Amino acid sequence: MEANQHHHHFKRITTAGLLIALGIIYGDIGTSPLYTFQTIMNDGGVIDEQLVFGAISCIFWTLTLQTTFKYVFITLQADNKGEGGVFSLYALVRRFGPKLVFPAIIGAGTLLADGIITPPITVTSAIEGLNMVKGLENVIVPGNSLVVEIVLVILLLLFIFQRFGTKVVGGAFGPVMFLWFMMLGVLGISQIIHYPHIFLALNPKYAISLLTQHPKGFWLLGAVFLCTTGAEALYSDLGHCGKKNIQTTWIFVKTTLILNYLGQGAWTLLQHKSTLGGANPFFAIVPHWFLLPAILIATAASIIASQALISGSFTLISEAISLNFWPKVTVKFPTNIRGQIYIPSINWILCTGCFMVVLYFRTSESMTAAYGFSITIAMLMTTILMFYFLRYVKHYPLWIVSLIMVLFIAVESSFFVANAVKIVKRLFFLVFEVGLISTMYIWFNARKITNRFLSFINLNKHLNEITALSKDTTTPKIAANLIYLTKADHPHQIEKRILTSMFQHTPKRADMYWLVHIERTDEPFTMEYGVEEISDKVIRIDFMLGFRVQPRIGLMFRNVVKDMLHNKELNILQRYPAMAAENLQNYKFVIFENVLSYDNEFSVQEGFILNSYFAINKLATSDSKAFGLDVNQTLVEKIPLVVTPKSCDGLRQVFYKKI
């Protein structure tokens, strides 16, 4: 019921929904006017009408084709029961090809890597605007220690604030972002009225002319791309705001963005200068009396820009954990809204990365020179997955899907090539990106390898043995209720290691044995369960949980048992005294912990993947914590994993003595 209410809420357009969408989603793309036009002018060399008109035309058509058409109209159709993002899209199409895992991993890794440069570049751009306030010219100098310290303090406060959830952020920042976009539009109009001829720049012929005839032409796309870097957040944060709220607010947002870019272009041409001379057209079009308030609003907007990437990163990692792409880490839900997620480890990894970016580049100009490479790759990966979605899920005709894909790939490949030259300036980021992608690749493949060696047997053949063990009073009782987590999809199958645990090592006697199976659904918020009585001593519970639901199995198990007692199902209260209310807490979960046996002889690839997997696993959250189990509720058993046994063919007997 709660999940349906959640989905229904996001199908409606509401004032609150619109404000939350403004407050969470548009920070990145909404603050791009702070630096995009300035960067194009600085990179373009001599400023003339061809450069200004071409720049605005490129920006307009990039926002139209890339942001509006691809993300707002096309990609938002890939609505996985209210959720968005590359992993939600992957969950919708993964059945159509095993290799689709690669674009999913690469897309997620590069989008996360982008999260460590978006906050520094937006906040730094806003703070550097104080340089234009009279009396602060010599105090606020781009790159000096004071600017860097102010930016670091703002970023630190932002990351500390994450623990309270984006509901608070959206509620507080929605009105601020509305004010920001209104300011963008009004400032743009204030310059356009002095140079209305600037509207001609929306003609695509000026974009084509710039790219084909300007000396730096095609390579300026690297700077043009800055105007759409937040487009991926439109889809990633779908679950926070809903499709219709995003599509409605985008009309308003795009209008104000274009007006502001037109205003910056008009101001630039009215100066009749060949260079900007260090000026930022965004702050230059602000009336002097309004400069300080504008900078304060810009700073608030830049904080929201950071929020868009951070909240999107939390969503991605949460889904990655559910789909076995990422080690289990602590996931918190700071509010009662399902979309609000806080992941402490990712929060502080991003915080550290942002600090390193600020200290390494120091100025927004240096950051823009390294910005955009990662996100172009993320967009290309989304395009690949979208092909499968449109063709096989939506069943669009092949020729229509092909035309759409050719358009997107042509545009994004051009941006990728233009941004590829930045890789020399951003080698610093490659470690971060490669680390993220490698972690996902290693974790996904290691789980496949370890799961491959799970051995299942017929449970029915061993029910009598289990009953006998339960009644054997000579064996010490471990707990009234002993619970094993099983991966067996069929209710009458069980892992061999579970029976080994029961009968070999230390025999484990209990009044009742429970088998708990967790099935992850492609729907985000499913919370259902089924119970099957396999024998007098064995009961199985199947939990069907959405990929966004945190599996608090201890709590869920207790609620299931209480429901069964209340409903008098299976008559277990009469038949099994152990299930009396006072003994309800007398239970233990048996958790298996794999360790890599020394008796293995791997190939180079398997050895690297498995050794890396177990090294990473030491940093991950334990299964007990991941499933919401307290220490006193669990028994941990270490299982040596023998994937490829070593050969002892050379071992031979040389003597035998009997004394």
Mean pLDDT score of the chain, rounded to an integer? 82
Six token digits for residue 421: 């030259």
Residue with tokens 């349906």: 4
* pLDDT per position as a tens digit, 486-501: 988 888 889 888 888 8
Q: What is the pTM of this model?
A: 0.79
Please tell me the predicted confidence (pLDDT) of residue 300.
84
- Separation of alpha carbons 117 and 120, rounded Å: 5
What is the C-alpha to C-alpha distance for residues 100 and 520, in angstroms, rounded to an integer? 19
Give how far Cα 226 sits from Cα of 59, 103, 355, Å. Answer: 9, 23, 21
- In the prediction, which pLDDT does 586 show? 76
- Taking the C-alpha atoms of residue 590 and residue 635, their distance in angstroms, rounded to an integer, is 5
Q: How far apart are CA 594 and CA 452, in angstroms?
A: 14
63 pLDDT above the threshold of 90: yes
Tokens of 53: 């008109």
- In this structure, how many other beta carbons lie within 10 angstroms of the beta carbon of residue 317? 24
Say yes or no to pLDDT of 32 above 80.
yes
What pLDDT shows up at residue 576? Answer: 52
Best CA proximity match to 86, nearest among 329, 283, 318: 318
pLDDT at 337: 53
* For residues 172-196, average pLDDT: 91
Report the pLDDT value the prediction gives residue 403, as an integer from 0 to 100: 93
Q: How does pLDDT run across 100-117, given as a tens digit for each residue?
A: 999 999 998 888 887 788
Contact between 121 and 367 (Cβ < 8 Å):
yes
Residue 194, pLDDT score = 93
Tell me the C-alpha distance between 232 and 395, whole Å.
24
Residue range 220-248, pLDDT digits in tens: 888 898 888 778 777 777 766 777 888 88
- Beta-carbon contacts of residue 495 (< 8 Å; ≥ 6 apart): 454, 455, 456, 457, 486, 487, 488
Alpha carbon distance 31, 530 (integer Å)? 49
Per-residue tokens: 311: 């909240």
Contact 259, 184 (CB under 8 A): yes
Cβ(206)–Cβ(57) under 8 Å?
yes
Q: What's the pLDDT tens digit per position in 621-633?
A: 777 777 878 777 8
Q: What is the pLDDT of residue 4?
A: 43
Tokens standing for 555? Answer: 């709590």
Q: What are phi and psi of 306, to 5 degrees?
A: -65, -40
**Sign (positive/negative) of CA torsion 79, 80, 84, 87?**
negative
Question: What does the pLDDT average to over 523-535?
Answer: 84
CB 524 within 8 A of CB 546: yes
Stronger pLDDT, 341 or 266, i.e. the higher one: 266
- Mean local confidence (pLDDT), 428-440: 83
Do 309 and 169 touch, CB atoms closer than 8 A? Answer: no
* Long-range contacts, stretch 277-284, CB < 8 angstroms, 24+ apart: 279/132, 280/34, 280/35, 280/38, 280/128, 280/129, 280/132, 281/37, 281/38, 281/41, 282/33, 282/34, 282/35, 282/37, 282/38, 282/129, 283/129, 283/132, 284/132
Q: How confident is the model at residue 262, as a pLDDT?
A: 95
Q: What pLDDT does 5 receive?
A: 42
Q: Higher model confidence: residue 17 or residue 466?
A: 466
pLDDT for 65-86, tens place per residue?
989 999 888 888 887 777 777 8
pLDDT range class, residue 333, cuts 50, 70, 90: low
The residue ranking higher by pLDDT, 562 or 648, is: 562
Percentage of the chain with pLDDT > 90?
Answer: 21
Secondary structure of residue 466 in the 3-state scheme: helix
Q: What share of the chain is helix, strand, coil (3-state, %, to 5)?
A: 65, 10, 25
Q: Give the pLDDT mean for 639-644.
A: 68
**Secondary structure element (H or E) that encloses residue 638, with its range:** strand 634-641
Distances (CA, A) of 394 to 93, 104, 261: 11, 19, 36
Q: Which residue has the tokens 């270490």?
A: 638
